[in-house]
């Protein structure tokens, strides 16, 4: 029994298990935030535009059965809204991380003013000039 407890303790104390536990807990909390944003803000905006916050009441009768296709539509809309919200959040986070590290966006680096291009050309010419760095040359 002591070996089993020791093995279990080693298993639980591994970095991967602790990282996974933290990720799951943060994921659950983040899910609550994203779900609230979608349900309490975005879906309410949809309700203001279309008159209903969801499509659950939409049904069609086939024979003696009722097909609740509105529930499916609501689930699809929720999925698309959550996916789009996560995309925007993650993309914004990545851009902030790049700025924090000082990495310039490729598109921003490609667009340079004429003055900047001229100054870079002068710099290159001075760097390649003979006698560079010697006084009086």
What DSSP string runs through 37-49? Answer: IIIIIIHHHHHHH
Do the domain assignments include residue 135? Answer: no
pTM for this predicted structure: 0.51
Most confident among 50-54, 92-96, 105-109 (mean pLDDT): 92-96
Assess contact for 41 and 84: CB atoms under 8 A: no
pLDDT at residue 59 in the model = 92
Q: How many CA atoms lie within 13 A of 103 on its CB side?
A: 8
The four Cα atoms 78, 83, 84, 88 give a dihedral, to 10 degrees, of 140
Tell me, yes or no, whether 70 and 86 share the same domain: yes
Provide the mean pLDDT of the chain: 81
Assess contact for 55 and 77: CB atoms under 8 A: yes
Q: How many structural domains does the chain have?
A: 2
In which domain, by residue range, is 104 found? 54-126
pLDDT greater at residue 111 or residue 80: 80
Do the domain assignments include residue 136? Answer: no
Do the domain assignments include residue 1? Answer: yes
Tell me, yes or no, whether 66 and 47 share the same domain: no
Q: How confident is the model at residue 66 (pLDDT cuts 50, 70, 90)?
A: very high
């Amino acid at each position: 029994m002591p070996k089993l407890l020791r093995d279990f303790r080693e298993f639980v104390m591994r970095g991967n298990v602790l990282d996974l536990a933290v990720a799951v807990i943060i994921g659950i909390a983040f899910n609550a935030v994203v779900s609230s944003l979608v349900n309490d803000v975005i879906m309410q905006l949809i309700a203001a535009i279309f008159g209903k916050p969801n499509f659950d009441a939409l049904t069609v009768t086939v024979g003696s059965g009722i097909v609740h296709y509105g529930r499916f539509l609501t689930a699809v809309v929720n999925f698309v809204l959550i996916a789009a919200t996560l995309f925007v959040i993650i993309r914004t986070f990545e851009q902030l991380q790049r700025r924090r590290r000082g990495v310039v966006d490729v598109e921003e680096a490609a667009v340079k003013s004429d003055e900047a291009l001229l100054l870079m050309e002068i710099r290159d010419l001075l760097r390649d000039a003979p006698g560079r760095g010697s006084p009086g040359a």
